[in-house]
Amino acid sequence: MKDIHHVEQPPSGQAPAPLRGIATMRPTHVNPVTLKRVAAIAGARGLAASVEQTVRGVTSDSRSVVPGDLYIALPGAHVHGHQFGAAAATAGAVAILTDDAGAQALAKHVDLPVLSCPDPRGVAGEIAALVYGTAANTGLGGVELFAVTGTNGKTTTTYFLNSLLRALGNSTGLIGTIEILAGDEPIPSKLTTPESTDVHALLAVMAERGLDAASMEVSSHALAFGRVDGVVFDVAGFTNLTQDHLDLHGDMEAYFATKAELFTPAHSRAAVVTIDDLWGREMAAKATIPVSTLLTAEKGAMGSPGATPEFSGADWKVRGTRRQGIGSAFELHGRGMVLRVQTGLPGGFNVSNAALALAMVADALLDNTPTLDDAQVAARLQDALDRDDPFTVDVPGRMQLVGTAPVAVVDFAHNPDALERALDAVRSPVEGSRVIVVFGATGERDQSKRPIMGAIAALHADVVLVTDDDPHDEDPAAIRAGVLAGALEARERNGLSTVIEESTSRAKAIGRAVELAGAADTILVAGRGHEIFQEVRGVNISLDDRVELRAALAHHGFPVTNAGTIRS
């Protein structure tokens, strides 16, 4: 996910705004825990022996405090949470757990028990699990938990998991970049993986609501910052590892090591690891839990580099991949079964995502359902695949199909690798058809990627419409100039006839793409996916690529798909 830029911070000591979003997700039933127990878990000092207080909730965000909570005041990159101690008290916190610096600051102005320990973040998950009854050994009331990690594909794979689990008759929950589903109303997400105190509250809500299964994205930030501490997943999945987030991890080895924490008994009972890349193979080799391997890269299939012979022994293998409409059909072979699968989402990478979701659910059924034999598991899965087509699902802003003739797709690709994959994925086999791409680059981020993305667009599309993404505080014209320079240079160098235009308005660029398109062409609007605001100099301007694209298509009399189901 793209970085989040603005953290709202009400003035210290003032009552926070009413709860919204994730903060409203608290279970009705909790296990009140004494502060003495909290102190013992945290190894904390500072609690008077006479204090008999209990806590009935836990949060590390003062804006989420409800009466009876323990507020965990954490040191952050911007500010120390102790600054919000008074606000937490006003909202009804009954105690604060913090570090020594926080305790010293709070002693002066907050009239609550303050406990101090060296690493409050490190114990937050365990304390929340105790209060919300979600400790791994308590069984989560039958909610089967699936986790997905990897650089790309987490969001799509969790939506595929969710859809397949529903097709199998389960009531399901989901936690990820776009939204949180734990009941009737979707809640927009702020982080890919929420803070640990929120994760445990959400899992408790899911258990209380009688959900059967939940799928969750686990980012490397989540593992590095203890956001899934105290959570043990039934099956964890690994998609791939490519360069990203090195600002946090330093190098690829450290990034890998952080991801690898998910594949240990502290976090997962079993795993399916995609071994198409070297990092996947290393992950499968280093995991300290039972692992099924998955090979999705067939030699010559959908532009994949091909499988190496030594890994032909994977537990699950994709075979017979072929294009079907704008999506793909394939077979998944493994553990004595052959499943016929299709996905309506374009791109070889969505074959990998679908295969991973299917292998994870198949492993869970084979290993955790003693009442079903292997043939019955295969029959149930095939029936769900045939009846509900679970991998043809709207994943908000991920290869989301908005029109069919021309094919019109909105995708989140916002870096060079993803843009190239997305452009190749949408190219139609129909001779003479063109790819028209609308995109820009984000401001205040890696400037070197701008000409690279421009060049990729010039090389892989027929019409390139360069416009704005989220400029943030940077001059949008300068960002566009960087992208255009790369596009023009690549066109010149390669003697191409790519049409390249600039537009100062993203909505107008989308309109222009539709104006230029014929029914056999493809339009790709890349970079912003599910986002509904464009941030320009600190102001959020309403802009949803799917809405603009749909309106432009309809205006020109082109068919639109799933018009009623586009979600943000």
Ligand X SMILES: Nc1ncnc2c1ncn2[C@@H]1O[C@H](COP(=O)(O)OP(=O)(O)OP(=O)(O)O)[C@@H](O)[C@H]1O
CB 53 within 8 A of CB 21: no
The tokens for 496 are 């191409």
Helix 545-555 vs helix 506-516: crossing angle, to nearest 10: 40
Nearer to ligand UAG (CB atom), residue 120 or residue 334: 120
Which of 22, 25, 39, 74 is close enough to bind ligand UAG by CB under 6 A? 74
Instruction: Classify the C-alpha dihedral 203-206-210-216 as positive or negative.
Output: negative
Strand 463-466 relative to strand 400-404: parallel, antiparallel, unpaired?
A: unpaired
Which of 116, 157, 163, 219 is close enough to bind ligand UAG by CB under 6 A? 219
The least distance separating ligand X from the CB of residue 469, rounded to whole angstroms, comes to 14
Rounded Cα distance, 412 and 528, in Å: 5
Which of 353, 442, 498, 534 is close enough to bind ligand X by CB under 6 A? 353
Which of 233, 263, 412, 558 is close enough to bind ligand X by CB under 6 A? 412
Which of 14, 20, 32, 79 is close enough to bind ligand UAG by CB under 6 A? 79
The least distance separating ligand UAG from the CB of residue 358, rounded to whole angstroms, comes to 23
CB 440 within 8 A of CB 432: no
Rounded Cα distance, 157 and 427, in Å: 23
Which of 60, 157, 353, 400 is close enough to bind ligand UAG by CB under 6 A? 60
The least distance separating ligand UAG from the CB of residue 197, rounded to whole angstroms, comes to 10
The least distance separating ligand X from the CB of residue 2, rounded to whole angstroms, comes to 7
Of these partners, ligand X, ligand UAG, none, which one is at the site of residue 418 (CB under 5 to 8 Å by kind)?
A: ligand X
Q: Does 221 engage in binding with ligand UAG (CB under 6 A)?
A: yes
Q: Assign 237 to helix, strand or coil.
A: strand
CB 456 within 8 A of CB 492: no
Of the candidates 514, 518, 513, 517, the one whose C-alpha atom is nearest the C-alpha of residue 501 is 513
Which of 155, 196, 304, 343 is close enough to bind ligand X by CB under 6 A? 155
Q: How many residues bind ligand UAG (CB under 6 A)?
A: 26
Q: Does 192 engage in binding with ligand UAG (CB under 6 A)?
A: yes
Q: Give me the 332-361 binding string for ligand UAG, x by CB under 6 A, dash otherwise.
A: ------------------------------
Nearer to ligand X (CB atom), residue 156 or residue 328: 156
The least distance separating ligand UAG from the CB of residue 335, rounded to whole angstroms, comes to 30
Please name the residues in contact with 77: beta carbons below 8 A apart, sequence gap of 6 or more. none
Residue 134 assigned to a binding site: no
Which of 43, 76, 118, 303 is close enough to bind ligand UAG by CB under 6 A? 76
Q: Give me the 230-249 binding string for ligand X, x by CB under 6 A, dash otherwise.
A: ---------xx---------
Q: Which strands form 95-98's sheet, in the order they lie side by side?
A: 57-59, 69-73, 95-98, 114-116
Q: Does 192 engage in binding with ligand X (CB under 6 A)?
A: yes
Q: Does 191 engage in binding with ligand UAG (CB under 6 A)?
A: yes
Residue 227 assigned to a binding site: yes
**The one segment of 45-53, 153-161, 372-380, 452-460 that binds ligand X by CB under 6 A:** 153-161
The CA-based diameter of the chain, rounded to the nearest angstrom, is 81
Residue 192 assigned to a binding site: yes
Residue 171 assigned to a binding site: no
Of these partners, ligand UAG, ligand X, none, which one is at the site of residue 250 (CB under 5 to 8 Å by kind)?
A: none
The least distance separating ligand X from the CB of residue 111, rounded to whole angstroms, comes to 42
Please state, in angstroms and as integers, the Cα–Cα distance from residue 27 to each residue in 58, 105, 348, 473, following that order: 12, 32, 40, 40
Q: Does 439 engage in binding with ligand X (CB under 6 A)?
A: no
Q: Which strands form 337-343's sheet, in the order they lie side by side?
A: 187-188, 179-181, 172-175, 213-217, 144-149, 235-238, 271-274, 291-295, 316-324, 327-334, 337-343
Q: What is the 3-state secondary structure (H, E, C) of 33-76?
A: EEHHHHHHHHCCECCCCCCCCEECEEECCHHHCCCCEEEEECEC
Nearer to ligand UAG (CB atom), residue 195 or residue 234: 195
Nearer to ligand UAG (CB atom), residue 243 or residue 368: 243
Rounded Cα distance, 513 and 465, in Å: 7
Asked if the peptide bond before residue 471 counts as cis, ω within 30 degrees of 0, the response is: no
List interacting residues with ligand X (CB under 6 A): 1, 152-156, 177, 192, 217, 239-240, 349, 352-353, 398, 411-413, 418, 421-422
Annotated binding site: 62, 150-156, 192-193, 219, 227
